[in-house]
Chain A
């Protein structure tokens, strides 16, 4: 029966780390609703997460929109459905690709940076030092990152939506020779507010996940430079996987019945 032991051990480890993460999450979130809040730190994180991610996210969205237009054209022209291309581009970007692409890019950029920064602070005892200076590390380090992640990603996705659709527009008008006015009117025609808003809800969830996994892995890292490296990798990988799973679940919830 010995071969069952590793399976059991893995399962128990999984339960233990799930519990650990759940405890960390509830503790961090509860601090988000209790004073004092360090608004300066929150603002600085918002600039870091939002503003400095604009180039990466914008570029990703632009090319995604362009490819989408190109691909749907080559597919839809087989059954003369070219007129559906603007709608396809707009709906795919706002509902799915905008939030997911932005979430994954931010996971790579911000999740890694948070994990590396907090991990280094942990192994050089800076987090212990905070405690001895009467400053709660959850309040000073984690709350600003969680709030900034949750609040800024929707803004970032709004920009990504606009840039992505613009990418589709560029390809359709300059390469596929669509009429520009037609593109715009068609893309508006079937667009509903909830296509956009669902993407923004998703973005908020993804922003929370990225910041949370960065903080959790960094805050609990141990063992010097190697530990910080492992924490960084784990933060990016786990955030990306959780984004994809959450995306599926949220799509199910937000579009239930339709």
Chain B
């Protein structure tokens, strides 16, 4: 990354609440071009909300979100389309269009936004499906006919098919067996290396985080409480991070459960 070029993604003091509930309470985060950042954090801490805010699917109440140095909060019309065109996103629940066969899901952006001819779009969709370990006959099925893990991989293929500059992965490996999880991790690393894509991933799976991250950030109670290179995560000196990566029930993070 050139020192004087703006970061690809820059968040400053971003807040977002739902009614009384403050989910993001001032997030600061910088992601450089072609960098891979992984956000970790407990369930319900607002990781998915963070991604959706950057995509302007959700509107943050305050703060600033800059992509390539340009403010994106409050964009509309053509400018918003250009902004969104840079992104690919894998949703936590895959969010496949159940009225379309798998290959049309994967080729959706190619067919509509990029106006690629149908035949070529189909070939590219099939090739992308193959790269996530799905055969051509899966391409003709409908999403409802797939297992959860297969849906996740189709979602992944859809996110990367149009070769976006920025890709968000919301829990790419949950619901996959360990071998397939590793294949997906490799694929994400490859996306960054080959497409030069900037990626922001969310995961609970530390093995996956270690594999795909350049940097790791931890989200807790609406703030980024720690961030650093992945090599530092094991000796962060932060008790929250330590508790999270070792998955211990006792520590500074208290789960809201009652003892039986």
**Which A residues contact B (CB, under 8 angstroms)?**
121, 124-126, 128-136, 140
**Which B residues contact A (CB, under 8 angstroms)?**
52, 55, 57, 81, 84-85, 87-89, 91-93, 95-98, 108-109, 112-113, 158, 162
Contact check: which of B57, B97, B98 meets A132 at CB < 8 Å? Answer: B57
User: B95–A126 contact, CB under 8 A?
Assistant: yes
* A125-B113 in contact given A131-B57, A132-B84 (Cβ < 8 Å): no
* A124-B55 in contact given A132-B84, A132-B88, A135-B112 (Cβ < 8 Å): no
Contact check: which of A128, A134, A140 meets B95 at CB < 8 Å? Answer: A128
User: B91–A135 contact, CB under 8 A?
Assistant: no
Q: Nearest Cβ in chain A — how far from B73, in angstroms?
A: 15
User: B93–A132 contact, CB under 8 A?
Assistant: no
* A134-B97 in contact given A128-B52, A128-B57, A129-B89 (Cβ < 8 Å): no
Query: Can you give 22 contacting A-B residue pairs, CB < 8 Å?
Result: A124-B95, A125-B92, A125-B93, A125-B95, A128-B57, A128-B95, A129-B91, A131-B55, A131-B57, A131-B84, A132-B55, A132-B84, A132-B87, A133-B109, A133-B112, A133-B158, A133-B162, A134-B113, A135-B109, A135-B113, A136-B81, A140-B112
Q: Give bound CA distance, A126 to B155, whole Å.
A: 11
Closest partner residue, chain A, to B155 (CB atom)? A129
Q: Which 3 A-B pairs have the closest CB atoms?
A: A134-B113, A125-B95, A129-B95
Q: How many A-B residue pairs have CB under 8 A?
A: 49
Q: Nearest Cβ in chain B — how far from A118, in angstroms?
A: 11
* A128-B112 in contact given A133-B158, A134-B84, A134-B85 (Cβ < 8 Å): no
Closest partner residue, chain B, to A136 (CB atom)? B81
Closest partner residue, chain B, to A38 (CB atom)? B112
* A126-B96 in contact given A131-B84, A134-B84, A135-B112 (Cβ < 8 Å): yes
Q: Nearest Cβ in chain A — how far from B107, in angstroms?
A: 10
Q: Give bound CA distance, A62 to B30, whole Å.
A: 68
Q: Nearest Cβ in chain B — how far from A49, in angstroms?
A: 16
Q: Nearest Cβ in chain A — how far from B110, in angstroms?
A: 10
Q: Nearest Cβ in chain A — how far from B169, in angstroms?
A: 12
* B88, B89, B95 — most chain A CB neighbours (10 Å): B95
Closest partner residue, chain B, to A44 (CB atom)? B99
Enumerate chain B residues within 8 angstroms of A132, measured Cβ to Cβ.
Answer: 55, 57, 84, 87-89
Q: Give bound CA distance, A140 to B109, whole Å.
A: 13
Contact check: which of A128, A136, A140 meets B91 at CB < 8 Å? Answer: A128
Q: Nearest Cβ in chain B — how far from A201, in angstroms?
A: 32
Enumerate chain A residues within 8 angstroms of B84, measured Cβ to Cβ.
Answer: 131-132, 134
Q: Give bound CA distance, A233 to B95, whole Å.
A: 24
Enumerate chain A residues within 8 angstroms of B89, measured Cβ to Cβ.
Answer: 129, 132
User: B55–A135 contact, CB under 8 A?
Assistant: no
User: B81–A134 contact, CB under 8 A?
Assistant: yes
* A129, A131, A133 — most chain B CB neighbours (10 Å): A133
Q: Give bound CA distance, A126 to B55, whole Å.
A: 14
Contact check: which of B92, B96, B108 meets A135 at CB < 8 Å? Answer: B108
Enumerate chain A residues within 8 angstroms of B93, measured Cβ to Cβ.
Answer: 124-125
